[in-house]
Structure 1
Amino acid sequence: MNCSDRLIGVDEPVAWREALEGVPHSFYATWDCCHAAALNTGWPTQLYVGEREGVRVVCPLSVRQHRGAIDWVTPTGFSGFASNGAWPGFADHWAAFAKGRGVVCSYLAQHPDFGDGALEGAAAGEEALYFLDLRQGLDGVLAQADTTRRKDWQRWQDRGGQFVTDRDTLAAFLLAQYGPFMDRMGAGRAARWRDDALQALLQCPSVGLVGTADAQGQMLAVILYGWTAWGAEGMLQASLPEGRDHTIALMLGGVRDLSARGIPWFNLGGGVRSGDSVAAAKRRWRPREASFRRLKQTYDPVRYAALCAEAGVAADATEGYFPAYYATGSAR
């Protein structure tokens, strides 16, 4: 059986988009999103494309180095492997390809709606993500949600809350307020988007923005999300301090927009930690829950063990950051 493998760079947008045609995938796998992610991290970013007898497997990757050792990581969000059909034995094929490229290991955040056990090989760790079903529109989402969500929505309307849809206004607010908002949230550098990366996201044709304002028309909050034909991903938001109670309305503004576009689901993400208050708040929507898999794969165990020994960490550690040898180092 003839197989082919290639890596398409983020500097090849046409080839990247062509490779995704006919393959169900998340917004996090698109060139637009990965280009913005590459600006944000500074890491070389590529799309793996494997093909065999009409089956195509894709996987976006960012390339990191630590003491000369190469590892691959999901550029941002949840993507991992996606395909247009079954490829038995792909996990072994993938591991051989990665080892042949001199890659020591990889950490892939596998999207639950696009992965497949035969593609992934062994998965390490699971965590719930929460998906709103948009097929019945805003009314369907509200009917599914618990009573507190419907009351929050009614309270926001009774206070005269308004949606803001002018894209220029929304983009300017996001660029001005995202940094201060993340400061108040105590977010570290790794959790933030740089201004140039945000600007790139805002140029994406499949990125939406919805904002909310109070009864006097003062804008207080904005949400940004991206979509493909298969579903939408909630990516980031920003608000003034007095806009914190606009979160429910922001979500429903996104629901209204996406359902009008015919997008079937909206991924709200998960909690910061399993079972925390963030996850509990998302469960009040009574969403579909699906497990996001953390794929921690080692292709050169000897080199991996040596790097862990240099860092003073156990090579067989499965919890915490991966690769474990980054515990005392950094990627370039």
Structure 2
Amino acid sequence: MGRAAGTRTKLFVAEGDGCKAVCPIAERSYRGATDVFTPYGFSGFAGTGDLSQLPDAWRAFAQGQGYVAGYIMQHPLAMPGRLAGAWPEMSDAGRTLYRVDLTVGEEERLRALSSKKRAQRLRKWLEAASIETDQARLAEAFMRLYPDLMSRRGAASVYRFSDDILRDLVRLPDTVLVGVCDAAGEVTSVAQMGIAPACGEYLFVAARETSSGDGDGLLWLGLRALADRGAPACNLGGGITEGDGLSDFKRRLGGEPVPIPVLRQIFDAPRYQALCQSAGCDPDKTDFFPAYYR
């Protein structure tokens, strides 16, 4: 993912007696100063054991690296419980993801949809769909369909993956592809789902232009696949912007809104103040962080 975004991506690791924490991070530079942030595709800290010393270890690492500031978005469904409240700087990012409970049966999930009519349409779609499960065939279709979909949507460069990255994505462990075919037997849409103990993830979708009506059903197949593999929940993600049509789609599919916490930290206060002053911005503003990038 770092290759696609063109960022310097690293993995922070902190280990102690019977405990371990990791966090993917990316670096960027501004007027000779370096700050750290959550790279595309990753979401904050994860770990096991007693993590009470993690905040101090993280700050010591960041200051040792010479970082001026840090902006880490934390996956709320994967955050170790011991981290809740550990950082006074952690607050609501003003963004939302949508969670589907997979511990309940499919009928209960259908009843959680936004309307009975939507549930009826989905049932009919599932009965009529030509479902493809062959992973090799789905991988080939995903690699073929994804670039065209991104072009049609005018997607930003961070979402436009090279063939090598697409090949790596479909080979990732702990993932499953689901898809459907048209009447001629050609795969028309594919979704990739990730599987983890804390929750499953809705990762990517690739589809032909004429398969626009498959959205609900394709994602439902992904939820089925995760439930069959024991995932307790699925993170559908959020919208591109808060409250947009994509957010609404995930909410209507039964997604429960969950706020995304974010860790905003200043590691070198004098330098941060100087950078904000040179950029002509208020260093105390937190609606955009670090403020000097505004």
**TM-score of the superposed pair, with normalisation by structure 1:** 0.78
Unaligned 5+ segments in structure 2 are: none
Report deviation, 1:78: 4.5
Classify 1:99/1:267 alpha carbon distance in 2 versus 1 (closer, same or farther; 3 Å).
Answer: same
- In the aligned structure 2, how far is the partner of 1:77 from the partner of 1:119? 24
- Shifted more, 85-94 versus 141-150: the winner is 85-94
Q: Which residue of 1 aligns with 2:11?
A: 47
- In the aligned structure 2, how far is the partner of 1:233 from the partner of 1:192? 20
Classify 1:49/1:168 alpha carbon distance in 2 versus 1 (closer, same or farther; 3 Å).
Answer: same
Report deviation, 1:112: 0.4
Which amino acid letter does the alignment assign opposite residue 112 of structure 2? Answer: Q
- In the aligned structure 2, how far is the partner of 1:120 from the partner of 1:241? 45
- In the aligned structure 1, how far is the partner of 2:266 from the partner of 2:191? 37
1:289 aligns with 2:253: no
1:325 aligns with 2:289: no
Q: Which residue of 2 aligns with 1:112?
A: 76
**Matched positions, count:** 289
Report deviation, 1:46: 2.3
- In the aligned structure 1, how far is the partner of 2:263 from the partner of 2:241? 17
Q: Which residue of 2 aligns with 1:32?
A: none
Report deviation, 1:73: 1.8
1:179 aligns with 2:154: no
Q: Which residue of 2 aligns with 1:252?
A: 220
1:201 aligns with 2:191: no
**TM-score of the superposed pair, with normalisation by structure 2:** 0.87
Q: Which residue of 2 aligns with 1:154?
A: 123
- In the aligned structure 1, how far is the partner of 2:241 from the partner of 2:2? 26
Q: Which residue of 2 aligns with 1:121?
A: 88
Report deviation, 1:245: 0.9
Report deviation, 1:291: 1.4
Unaligned 5+ segments in structure 1 are: 1-36, 328-332
Report deviation, 1:92: 4.0
- In the aligned structure 2, how far is the partner of 1:148 from the partner of 1:193? 37
- In the aligned structure 1, how far is the partner of 2:280 from the partner of 2:156? 25
Report deviation, 1:312: 3.9
Q: Which residue of 2 aligns with 1:310?
A: 278
3-state SS of 1:307 partner: helix
Q: Which residue of 1 aligns with 2:201?
A: 233
Q: Which residue of 2 aligns with 1:273?
A: 241
4+ long deviations beyond 4 Å: none
Which amino acid letter does the alignment assign opposite residue 51 of structure 1? Answer: E
1:137-172 Cα deviation digits (max 9, x unpaired): 5344223323243122133246x3211222222222
- In the aligned structure 1, how far is the partner of 2:121 from the partner of 2:35? 45
| Aligned match for 1:61, one of 7, 25, 30 | 25
Classify 1:51/1:313 alpha carbon distance in 2 versus 1 (closer, same or farther; 3 Å).
Answer: same
Q: Which residue of 2 aligns with 1:82?
A: 46
- In the aligned structure 2, how far is the partner of 1:304 from the partner of 1:152? 54
3-state SS of 1:228 partner: coil
Q: Which residue of 2 aligns with 1:10?
A: none
Identity %: 35
**Contact map agreement 1:137 1:255 (CA 8 A) in 2:** no
Which amino acid letter does the alignment assign opposite residue 294 of structure 1? Answer: V
- In the aligned structure 2, how far is the partner of 1:128 from the partner of 1:217? 37
Which amino acid letter does the alignment assign opposite residue 68 of structure 1? Answer: G
Which amino acid letter does the alignment assign opposite residue 24 of structure 2? Answer: P
3-state SS of 1:104 partner: strand
- In the aligned structure 1, how far is the partner of 2:41 from the partner of 2:153? 19
**Contact map agreement 1:81 1:120 (CA 8 A) in 2:** no
Classify 1:189/1:118 alpha carbon distance in 2 versus 1 (closer, same or farther; 3 Å).
Answer: same
Report deviation, 1:93: 4.0
- In the aligned structure 2, how far is the partner of 1:41 from the partner of 1:85? 32
- In the aligned structure 2, how far is the partner of 1:272 from the partner of 1:311? 27
Report deviation, 1:173: 1.9
Which amino acid letter does the alignment assign opposite residue 38 of structure 1? Answer: G
Cα RMSD (Å) of the superposition?
2.3
**Contact map agreement 1:212 1:249 (CA 8 A) in 2:** no
1:144 aligns with 2:112: yes
Report deviation, 1:70: 1.9
3-state SS of 1:221 partner: strand
Classify 1:243/1:120 alpha carbon distance in 2 versus 1 (closer, same or farther; 3 Å).
Answer: farther
